[in-house]
Amino acid sequence: MEHDARYSLLENVQQAEIVLDPFPHLIVRKPIPDEIADQLIAEFPPDDVVISGSPGSPMGSNKRFNIYARDVAAHSGIAPIWKAFIREQSSARFVQHLFRLFGPFVREYYPELARQLGDGFERVRAGVRSQDGFDTCNVLLDAGISINSPVTSIPTSVREAHLDLPTKLFTGLYYLRPPEDQETQGGDLELCRYRPGRSRRFSKFDADPNCVEAAKVVPYEKNVLVAFVNSMNSVHAVTPRLRTRHTRKFVNLVVEVEKPLFNGESYQVGRLPFRARYYVRQLLSWRRASSPSAATSSHRG
């Protein structure tokens, strides 16, 4: 099918736009024309269609649901513009753009993988997750239409500070906040760094909140892309959302490899010692977000 550059989130992004602190990442505002983003928002699939892509996921307040590329293509209830958009973000062109941008960091962090993929990444064989396999591909992409359900109880973070799975090479999030959702507070993305002098502590992939701090906050807004190379430094989180009737809408972008890229076993601790501290921090964040000064600052950026 013919390539339509209007739908490509990385078509016009340059390597010079990568920021190194707290880890190599891109934040791109308006990566596609606003009129395309507006159409994506207007034709965003209903919640029940997205939820159908996550069978077995628990329902409730501030839960995440996704419908990924393979199921998007087959679903009769999803608009053609969304099919084309998801197809573009799960294409070989998209992963070529990622390697063009982040190639130097792949070589630095994962030299063995870089050797396998070629000096100029010319040996990358890309497929679509859940459709292709590592028997014929060395990277698998996916793009999912994603939502976080309305917050109907106490403020919560849909995901605390964490690392992505070590088989993920690249991660991306593309935000599509609709115009009718302007009053919801929270749901922003935090890019974190390790606190100086603190030991790294994880329960599986969740970070002890005492060992990390937010280095940058990316507001949940319309037509904003965040992308980064996954590594032991790529800790990120979603800030707590206050009670809201609105669904948080975005696209989740994934590039996976077959074998884990890093090992955090030496930093593992039990879950209970820091889960309570994280919950207390959520409540404090809620109070700060509820204050008039915080509400004013949250609408800047």
Which domains are delineated in the chain? Answer: 5-298 (2.60.120.620)
Q: What's the pLDDT score for residue 299?
A: 36
pLDDT less than 50: residues of the chain: 1, 294-301
Q: What's the pLDDT score for residue 58?
A: 84
Q: What's the pLDDT score for residue 294?
A: 46
Q: What's the pLDDT score for residue 292?
A: 53
Q: How many CB atoms lie within 10 A of CB 292?
A: 7
CA distances from 227 to 3, 61, 99, 110 (A): 21, 27, 12, 18
Q: What's the pLDDT score for residue 301?
A: 34
Q: What's the pLDDT score for residue 50?
A: 96
Q: Which residue has the tokens 């991306």?
A: 172
Q: What's the pLDDT score for residue 297?
A: 38
Q: What's the pLDDT score for residue 300?
A: 33
CA distances from 97 to 88, 91, 93, 258, 263 (A): 11, 10, 6, 20, 27
Q: What's the pLDDT score for residue 54?
A: 87
Q: What's the pLDDT score for residue 23?
A: 98
Q: How many CB atoms lie within 10 A of CB 25?
A: 23
Q: Which residues pair with 250 in a beta bridge?
A: 146, 175
Please state, in angstroms and rounded to a whole number, the distance separating the CA atoms of residues 169 and 213: 23
The helix/strand/coil state of 11 is: coil
